[in-house]
């Protein structure tokens, strides 16, 4: 982590476009060009897996399978798999938000038409032979369709229809091919992609269905306990995520085979990855079945160094970011130091504690990734707006002087972070635009009105690229 760099955090879904959600099409390439023009080196994204019913990419039907909504429709038309009329029918009503209701109702039907017109099935078969977990994901989704969307524990139909199975296989193939082309374009331009690995998987997922022995389940396939976190900055009751917890003893016995495959696959998709909730590898918050709130949970020791050794063995010199936020104990800090992975620093946490807070820029170490905020935080401008007056004055004074115009204050905060010792600084796209709380990506503990934020090409074109290039160059981050 010695080379200084910077980047932008923005999910694929937030890209501009004409079809209700961002995709791997020409707008994504234009965003890569934008990053180059601004002197950034990294594009960080959120998990690529299929989102859940609340549109969250952190709880998916498969931790390997790709989100079909990211498949670009215009690329499918160029391949002769969709017509101009079908594209016209799919055009969005608004460019500012992901139109999830419409996507959920129409997009899979449209992609089925493309799959039916795809004739080279041998290509798909050969592709899936390389990635058995994608094959399992397609099989799971086909069986889920055959069982009317019921959880796998309640399935009565055990064999899927060949046409439906091929559809889901085609989705994974096309997703991977389109993404590989886009990533190749980014890498040629000098932009590296940072992916995101949620630590847990969903109960109703291909991962748990394919190998339930890897999880702490009862005889009916239901979790004996569920994941979450204790009360913290985001929630006074803590968060009950509901994911099943790994049977770490069983995983250790087979040499962490499932985790090994997951890390290897993610490092084919990305140049580096962030591992969400890293502290769960040291100790995880286990909430008993039937608990009313996450407060009823307790800390239990995780796999620790044995899993870290396996991840390091697979990753080699590739970038692994440890999300080490939340209740960090000396034991978690020791595990992070052992791993040599860079941890995270978040400016919005800098003024919650005293002058020794690791989130204050003057305390940043070289081996860290510093963020103005994450996908779970407010935007920087929204954060400043909602601070009490004393803390707001302190935060802005820290970064070069109090400004009545808080948008100028946001720029000073970004400058302060870029000037810091942190090897890499990542700025959410909303903070590049200096947008307020109405453009927030996610509010933890809430199920609605999240994950929908999108940018427009006009907004991107209005950014002063020369300015960002100059400050990246000034602080040796180009």
Q: Which residues carry out catalysis?
A: 276, 323, 376
Distance, in Å, from the CA atom of 39 to the CA atom of 37, rounded to the nearest integer, reads 6
Distance, in Å, from the CA atom of 377 to the CA atom of 441, rounded to the nearest integer, reads 8
Q: Which pair of tokens denotes residue 247?
A: 């049977």
Query: Residue 312 contacts by C-beta under 8 Å, 6 or more apart in sequence?
Result: 320, 339, 340
Q: What are phi and psi of 6, to 5 degrees?
A: -150, 165
Distance, in Å, from the CA atom of 274 to the CA atom of 320, rounded to the nearest integer, reads 6
Intra-chain end-to-end CA distance of the chain, in Å: 15
Cα angle: 418, vertex 419, 423; to 5 degrees: 65
Query: Residue 409 contacts by C-beta under 8 Å, 6 or more apart in sequence?
Result: 384, 395, 396, 399, 402, 403
Chain Cα centroid distance, residue 61: 15
Q: Which pair of tokens denotes residue 416?
A: 């302060």
User: Are 297 and 343 spatial neighbours (Cβ–Cβ below 8 Å)?
Assistant: no
Distance, in Å, from the CA atom of 218 to the CA atom of 224, rounded to the nearest integer, reads 6
User: Are 247 and 213 spatial neighbours (Cβ–Cβ below 8 Å)?
Assistant: yes
User: Are 182 and 66 spatial neighbours (Cβ–Cβ below 8 Å)?
Assistant: no
Q: Is the dihedral of CA 235, 238, 240, 246 positive or negative?
A: positive
């Amino acid at each position: 982590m010695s080379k200084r760099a910077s980047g932008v955090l923005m999910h694929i879904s937030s890209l501009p476009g004409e079809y209700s959600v961002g995709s791997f099409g020409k707008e994504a390439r234009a965003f890569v060009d934008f990053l180059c023009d601004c002197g950034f080196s990294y594009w960080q994204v959120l998990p690529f897996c299929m989102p859940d019913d609340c549109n969250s990419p952190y709880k998916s039907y498969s931790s390997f399978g790709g989100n079909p909504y990211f498949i670009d429709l215009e690329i499918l038309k160029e391949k002769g798999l969709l017509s101009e009329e079908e594209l016209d029918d799919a055009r969005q009503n608004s460019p500012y938000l992901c139109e999830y209701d419409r996507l959920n109702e129409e997009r899979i039907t449209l992609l089925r038409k493309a799959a039916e017109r795809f004739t080279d099935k041998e290509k798909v078969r050969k592709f899936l032979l390389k990635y058995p977990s994608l094959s399992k994901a397609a099989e799971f989704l086909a069986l889920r369709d055959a069982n009317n969307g019921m959880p796998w524990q309640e399935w009565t139909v055990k064999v899927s229809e060949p046409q439906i199975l091929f559809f889901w296989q085609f989705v994974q193939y096309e997703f991977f091919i389109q993404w590989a082309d886009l990533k190749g374009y980014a890498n040629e331009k000098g932009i590296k992609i940072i992916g995101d690995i949620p630590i847990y998987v969903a109960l109703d997922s291909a991962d748990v269905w394919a190998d339930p022995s890897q999880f702490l389940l009862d005889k009916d396939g239901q979790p004996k306990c569920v994941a979450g976190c204790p009360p913290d900055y985001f929630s006074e009751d803590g968060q009950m995520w509901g994911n099943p917890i790994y049977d770490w003893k069983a995983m250790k016995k087979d040499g962490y085979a499932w985790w090994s495959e997951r890390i290897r696959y993610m490092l084919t998709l990305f140049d580096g990855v962030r591992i969400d909730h890293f502290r769960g590898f040291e100790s995880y918050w286990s909430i008993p079945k039937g608990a009313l709130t996450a407060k009823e949970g307790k800390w239990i020791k995780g796999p620790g160094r044995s899993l870290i050794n396996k991840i390091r063995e697979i990753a080699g010199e590739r970038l692994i970011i440890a999300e080490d936020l939340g209740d960090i104990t000396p034991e978690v800090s020791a595990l992070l130091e052992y791993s040599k992975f860079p941890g995270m620093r978040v400016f919005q946490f800098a003024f919650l504690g005293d002058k020794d807070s690791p989130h204050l820029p003057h305390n940043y170490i070289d081996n860290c990734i510093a963020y103005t905020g994450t996908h779970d935080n407010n935007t920087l401008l929204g954060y400043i707006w909602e601070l009490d007056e004393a803390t707001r004055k302190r935060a802005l004074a820290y970064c070069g002087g109090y400004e009545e115009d808080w948008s100028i204050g946001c720029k000073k905060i970004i400058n302060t972070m870029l000037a810091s010792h942190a090897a890499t600084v990542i700025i959410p796209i909303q903070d590049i635009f200096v947008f307020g709380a109405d453009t927030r990506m996610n509010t933890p503990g809430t199920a609605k009105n999240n994950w929908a934020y999108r940018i427009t090409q006009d907004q991107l074109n209005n950014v002063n690229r020369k300015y960002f290039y100059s400050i990246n160059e000034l602080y040796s981050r180009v």
